[in-house]
């Protein structure tokens, strides 16, 4: 079964959710026009990765941090609402599978806490899965809460069996194994890590899991930061590459078959043959004949972990 992949790494309109959604719809139209059936957007794409956290000082920039977080909260996505309806409608209209990172707000319990989430939208427009990043990295912990394993799932789509881990979650061997053990065919890694080391890790995952791997960060320059961004000119210079992107598609052999798309704000296209994932596992199947359940075991608690349970729920 051939799947036409489009990995979209154009910059969002940072801290502006509705404008970013409008831009995403244009990217979807362009990708579908080129034949794509599986479309992937980067980590925290709605309304953009909080790159400022790597530049602000913990003490002297506290007021600015508070203002930026407030704007981020106002532009986050409530999955119990209809914010994603335009993307779901586009997926259904075109009959394609969409994967995107986003800032998710918990309006049910706290109304404030944000999560770094990735969602899979099926070709009928249904939300097939929501995975919250298990462990935010370094200063990301000042932005996002920790997710649970309720979304640590592989879902069936016409494009293939898809599982997602976000950025450095790909370095968590047990999280990877939990996906491998669900007949994973396509591993998607929306990320901010565009380093050579990150690419090497994704190649290893492809070989280890016997699966296709799709990864992308956001290709963005200082000039892409909106003028409305507080203290933009102090934090960013117009010509700098804040992130070079490096969208990539990797075969189950570990071979890079498309990309990396470096310093290019665009779409990486590739055609993948999902069956080759199963063929790759003939020799090395880490959850099959290479597993030793008599020696090793893994238990995953996928129960949702709400902060409170009401007796009338």
Backbone φ/ψ region at 252: left (φ over 0), alpha (ψ -120 to 50), beta:
alpha
Count of beta carbons in the 10 Å neighbourhood of residue 258: 18
Of the candidates 43, 104, 169, 208, the residue annotated as catalytic is 43
Count of beta carbons in the 10 Å neighbourhood of residue 179: 23
Q: Please give the C-alpha separations between residue 82 and each of 77, 94, 118, 218, in angstroms, as whole numbers.
A: 9, 19, 16, 25
Of the candidates 133, 164, 169, 287, the residue annotated as catalytic is 133
- Reply yes or no on whether 167 is catalytic: yes
Tell whether the torsion through CA atoms of 179, 180, 182 and 183 is positive or negative: positive
Furthest C-alpha separation in the chain: 59
CB 152 within 8 Å of CB 169: no
As a whole number of angstroms, the distance between CA 259 and CA 282 comes to: 27
As a whole number of angstroms, the distance between CA 114 and CA 111 comes to: 9
Take residue 213 and report the two structure tokens written for it: 């791997």
As a whole number of angstroms, the distance between CA 162 and CA 184 comes to: 6
Of the candidates 104, 164, 167, 287, the residue annotated as catalytic is 167
**Which residues carry out catalysis?**
43, 133, 167
């Amino acid at each position: 079964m051939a799947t036409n992949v489009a990995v979209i790494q154009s910059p969002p309109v940072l801290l502006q959710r509705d404008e970013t959604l409008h831009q995403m719809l244009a990217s979807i139209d362009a990708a579908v026009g080129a034949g794509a059936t599986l479309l992937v957007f980067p980590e925290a794409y709605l309304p953009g990765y909080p790159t400022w956290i790597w530049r602000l000082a913990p003490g002297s920039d506290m007021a600015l941090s508070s203002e930026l977080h407030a704007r981020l909260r106002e532009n986050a996505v409530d999955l119990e609402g209809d914010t994603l309806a335009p993307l779901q409608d586009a997926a259904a209209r075109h009959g394609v599978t969409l994967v995107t990172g986003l800032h998710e707000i918990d309006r049910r319990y706290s109304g404030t806490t944000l999560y770094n989430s990735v969602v899979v939208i099926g070709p009928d427009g249904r939300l097939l899965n929501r995975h919250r990043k298990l462990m935010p990295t370094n200063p990301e912990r000042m932005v996002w809460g920790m997710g649970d394993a309720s979304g640590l799932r592989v879902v069936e789509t016409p494009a293939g069996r898809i599982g997602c881990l976000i950025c450095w979650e790909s370095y968590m061997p047990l999280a990877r194994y939990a996906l491998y053990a669900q007949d994973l065919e396509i591993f998607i890694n929306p990320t901010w890590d565009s380093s050579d080391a990150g690419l090497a890790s994704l190649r290893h995952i492809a070989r280890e899991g016997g699966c296709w791997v799709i990864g992308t960060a956001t290709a963005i320059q200082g000039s892409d930061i909106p003028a409305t961004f507080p203290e933009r000119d102090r934090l960013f210079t117009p010509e700098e590459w804040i992130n070079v992107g490096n969208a990539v598609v990797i075969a189950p052999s570990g071979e890079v078959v498309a990309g990396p798309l470096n310093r290019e704000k665009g779409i990486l296209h590739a055609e993948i043959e999902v069956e080759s994932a199963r063929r790759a596992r003939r020799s090395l199947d880490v959850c099959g004949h290479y597993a030793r359940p008599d020696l090793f075991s893994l238990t995953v608690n996928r129960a949702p972990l709400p902060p409170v349970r009401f007796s009338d729920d």
